[in-house]
Amino acid sequence: MNNIEQIRNDWSIEEIKLLYHEPLLELVYKAATVHRTWHSSSAVQVCTLLSIKTGGCTEDCAYCGQAARYHTNITVKALMDKEEVLSIAARAKASGSSRFCMAAAWREVRDNKDFERVLEMVKGINALGLEVCCTLGMLTETQAERLQAAGLYAYNHNLDSSERYYDEIISTRIYGDRLNTLNNVRKAGISVCCGGIIGLGETHEDRIGMLHTLSNLPQHPESVPINALARVPGTPLQDLTKVDVWDMVRMIAVARILMPKAMVRLSAGRSEMSTTEQAWCFMAGANSIFTSESEELLVTPNPKLDEDRAMFELLGLTPLSNK
Ligand code: SF4
């Protein structure tokens, strides 16, 4: 195996393919070894995700229930009040979260009053001592700098899939737009959260391609969410088959080996996984989950806080403490 104490940004497609197709138990063993070299095996970061502006998005991401053009049963909600957001963040911290992520269903950030309000929210959450993250769509360099100045710790902007498959799931922007925003975030000195979704109808080569792009960025994302498609009724992908849990385990394991220092986040899809299946994901190197008071991950189901607490106790996991 590659020297596990080394960070590499020159992974070849062939190397990643070999890893990806390893027998599962061998792959998990390697990933677990890398995980234990770089991280505590028992510490799992709990991130709270809050949709601060829901639905009505102009984009056409085929998996997303918040795209205005699809007939989903999502309730559109305007940007939340700062005070409400801050009280949810305070409760999230009290229940063990060390990171608070705010999501707005926007194509891109506009330089308007809503952006000013988000900047105030970022300041308020930062003052609570939480890592504050946002996912607001595309960002210019100046907007990224303003978020950084307000105290933003991380920015989420997923690649979703491979460059080759991207056009099949989104037509309203191109892969290069994603990379451009990631570049703006990095230049502003904000930590990068970037991963993808499996189960969109992509091939294994597409998954390998996405991992190749992520692991060959000049600096690996500090955070890599791996999502299983949540099949939202009314979206073009509603009838796809459920993602096989072993595919999630495989993706997580390869991401862990390629990007050893990153927090690998077991993201959408947990509500359809048993505790045993989630345990396999942790064994493969996942060290973060998302929770939310509303038991929804944006607009799709997520496990109850109590269920997660019981899972942590059973598996001997502890929430990673605050920065
Ligand atoms: S994923 Fe984001 S950009 Fe795409 S439709 Fe949904 S809210 Fe809009």
The predicted-structure confidence for 2-22, as pLDDT tens digits, reads as follows: 677 789 999 999 999 999 999
Grouping H, G, I as helix, E, B as strand and the rest as coil, residue 293 is coil
The length of the chain in residues reads: 323
pTM of the model: 0.94
Active-site residues, by number, are 57, 61, 64, 101, 133, 193, 265
* Chain segment 208-266, per-residue pLDDT in tens: 999 999 999 999 999 999 999 999 999 999 999 999 999 999 999 999 999 999 999 99
174 vs 163: CA distance, rounded Å: 9
Mutate to test the pocket of ligand 1, among 58, 66, 135, 160 (most ligand atoms within 8 A of CB): 66
What does residue 211 show for φ and ψ, rounded to 5 degrees? -65, -35
* Chain segment 54-78, per-residue pLDDT in tens: 999 999 999 999 999 999 988 999 9
* Chain segment 127-168, per-residue pLDDT in tens: 999 999 999 999 999 999 999 999 999 999 999 999 999 999
User: Residue 20: what pLDDT?
Assistant: 98
Distance 120 CA to ligand 1 centre (A): 23
Nearest protein Cα to ligand 1, atom 4: 61
Chain-centroid distance, C-alpha 111: 25
List, chain by chain if needed, residues with CB within 6 Å of any ligand 1 atom.
57, 59, 61, 64, 66-67, 105, 107, 137
Instruction: Return the C-alpha torsion angle 79, 81, 87, 93, nearest 10.
Output: 30
Contacts 24+ apart (CB under 8 A), 240-244: 240/199, 240/200, 240/201, 241/199, 242/199, 242/272, 243/198, 243/199, 243/269
Strand partners, 229: none
Q: For the chain, which residues make up each domain, given as ranges?
A: 13-311
> Relative to the CA of 105, which ligand 1 atom is closest?
7
How many Cα neighbours within 13 Å face the side chain of 169? 25
223 vs 265: CA distance, rounded Å: 7
Is the distance from CB of 143 to CB of 187 less than 8 angstroms? no
Q: Which helix (H) or strand (E) holds 156?
A: strand 154-156
- The domain made up of 13-311 is a member of CATH 3.20.20.70: yes
Distance 240 CA to ligand 1 centre (A): 19
Instruction: Tell me whether residue 60 is exposed, middle or buried, using C-beta atoms within 10 angstroms of its C-beta: 0 to 12, 13 to 18, 19 or more.
Output: middle
240 vs 229: CA distance, rounded Å: 9
Binding residues for [2Fe-2S] cluster, as ranges, are 101, 133, 193, 265
177 token code pair: 């737009």
